[in-house]
A and B are shown apart, each in its own frame.
Chain A
């Protein structure tokens, strides 16, 4: 009797203790938080959300950098007789006037294992992309950002849960995704934002995204994919104000295996939180077309 009594006390205390300690790490929160339900009974992810990280600069861990476009360091030994300090990295002339506004903040990566398993040819292609960032990054041209980049660009987005369809409204370039929550046919073509099919796995919204074209990047560091890209997203509410976002990337043309990214998404609950317009097409017309017509609208001069 006595033994059973004390064993029970110890076991109960152990359970209590374990329960207490497992509340601290995020993984237990994920398992234990039950979100409110939408009126049709499914988890309610409606709201305005935003990522807070530097993933759009570089999805891998990176130190601070002077600019997004750099000119290479000149080695100390390259110039005969030069025994003075040389620069490490300089901003490219075209972005130099932006000064510290144009710099890249340091940040932890969001890639599990911090390694992107490129095939050997793709490693070189990524570096080439990075070296030609100004000419190649589709973000500069206000092209649709693709998935998952749209999620972690520095703008809020809104999840709008309708019947059978969930829309995700992004600010950048006014991109919108339609997530089909019931059976839907196939996409008739390759797209920038993919073709999204969603279902619920417990409290998690799982979205299977296919039919991408090869045009989008994952970040400003030149990380890319092919038209074989297949993305699987998981949106899991972990508190009234956070989602945990996990995304699996598969692309047999570019990577040697699937790989994952993971980050919290924060609810924007300021009273006037709203998705605004960022209709950036007109912001880039001078850049793309200014020199192509008879007249350059910026200067009024005739183009040669």
Chain B
């Protein structure tokens, strides 16, 4: 009985906790879910615009040539509020991108997951500023 109740409560909790990622994203119109890609490259620049940031990435092909990819990221404002800024991914950073390729086959993909070369996730956690507990947060009382 008790076990069932606990399961029921936890189940109800999960009904609410699953949040939709984005109300708008014609994702499947831009990207092809049958074409996952993994890229390793250096950052040329990052455009911090809404609702998608864009990372311009130079990727070395096995042949030794360099391809310029555009990687579509999520909204920048989530990152700003965790303390990351336009300066957080400087030119020349080496990153690994996992995502899905553009439907039309061009050098574009979404940046579902970004890690540094050593596997650490980018933009995770906060950049160290932390929430101020100085009485300015009325909801913390």
Contacts and interface: CB of A to CB of B under 8 A. Distances in A.
**Do chains A and B make direct contact within the complex (CB under 8 angstroms)?**
yes
Interface of A: 186, 188-190
Chain B residues touching A, range: under 10
Given A188-B76, A188-B84, 12 more contacts: A186-B85, A188-B48, A188-B80, A188-B85, A188-B86, A189-B48, A189-B76, A189-B80, A189-B85, A189-B86, A190-B48, A190-B86
Interface of B: 48, 76, 80, 84-86
Contacts of A188: 48, 76, 80, 84-86
A181 B76 CA distance: 25
A186 B48 CA distance: 15
11 contacts: A186-B85, A188-B48, A188-B80, A188-B84, A188-B85, A188-B86, A189-B48, A189-B76, A189-B80, A189-B85, A189-B86
Contacts of A190: 48, 86
A219 to B, nearest CB: 24
Nearest to A185: B129
Contacts of A186: 85
Contacts of A189: 48, 76, 80, 85-86
Contacts of B76: 188-189
A291 to B, nearest CB: 16
A98 to B, nearest CB: 32
A223 B53 CA distance: 28
A189 B86 CA distance: 5
Nearest to B49: A189
A50 B84 CA distance: 38
A186 B85 CA distance: 10
A180 B80 CA distance: 18
A190 B87 CA distance: 10
A64 to B, nearest CB: 38
A296 B62 CA distance: 40
B59 to A, nearest CB: 25
A145 to B, nearest CB: 17
Contacts of B86: 188-190
**Which 3 pairs between the two chains have the least Cβ-Cβ distance?**
A188-B85, A189-B86, A189-B48
A189 B46 CA distance: 11
A190 B49 CA distance: 9
Nearest to A192: B49
A186 B84 CA distance: 12
Contacts of B48: 188-190
A188 to B, nearest CB: 4
Residue among B76, B84, B86 having the largest count of chain A Cβ atoms under 10 Å: B86
A16 to B, nearest CB: 55
Nearest to A186: B85
